[in-house]
């Protein structure tokens, strides 16, 4: 049974930093591409960042230069380092796993096979 468990979300002031973690189990982590999505109140879930098996990365324009995705295959964990946080970054952040063996980095929700429960990030102004 695949499980993805996010952690690290909390209340932070604008301009601050947070690191989110997503611990995966029940899968061969190194073979999966991993992504982060977020959903703000009243909005649809949107792509934030992704990293494939070869450590190639992709980012949404809104977070490029501020967020960094990384993975540690030895720990079955993917991270999202978030710097220079803005109130607009307030959302529930979800981790997702893509089992397709492709070098292409998935950026759409329906391309991911497994999802975590989410962790709340709130950025105060």
User: What is the spatial distance between Cα 5 and Cα 95, in angstroms, rounded to a whole number?
Assistant: 8
- Give me the pLDDT at residue 30, please: 95
Predicted confidence pLDDT, tens digits, the chain (125 residues): 999 999 999 999 999 999 999 999 999 999 999 999 999 999 999 999 999 999 999 999 999 999 999 999 999 999 999 999 999 999 999 999 999 887 789 999 999 999 999 999 999 99
User: What is the spatial distance between Cα 125 and Cα 109, in angstroms, rounded to a whole number?
Assistant: 29
Contact 80, 92 (CB under 8 A): no
- Give me the pLDDT at residue 13, please: 98
Nearest C-alpha neighbor of 51 from the set 109, 95, 4, 84: 95
- Give me the pLDDT at residue 39, please: 98
Reduced to 3 states, what is the DSSP secondary structure of residue 64? coil
Q: Where do we find the tokens 């329906």?
A: 110
Contact 36, 94 (CB under 8 A): yes
- Give me the pLDDT at residue 104, please: 85
33's enclosing H/E stretch is strand 33-39
The contacts found for 108-112 with CB under 8 angstroms, 24 or more apart, are 108/47, 109/37, 109/45, 109/47, 112/35
């Amino acid at each position: 049974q695949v499980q993805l468990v996010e952690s690290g979300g909390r209340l932070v002031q604008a301009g601050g930093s947070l690191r989110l973690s997503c611990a995966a189990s029940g899968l061969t982590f190194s073979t999966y591409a991993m992504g982060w999505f977020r959903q703000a109140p009243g909005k649809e879930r949107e792509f934030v960042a992704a990293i494939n098996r070869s450590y190639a990365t992709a980012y949404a324009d809104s977070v490029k230069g501020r967020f960094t995705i990384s993975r540690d295959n030895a720990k079955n964990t993917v991270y999202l380092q978030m710097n220079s946080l803005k109130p607009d970054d307030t959302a529930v952040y979800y981790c997702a796993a893509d089992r397709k063996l492709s070098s292409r980095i998935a950026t759409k929700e329906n391309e991911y096979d497994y999802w975590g429960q989410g962790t709340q990030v709130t950025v105060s102004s």
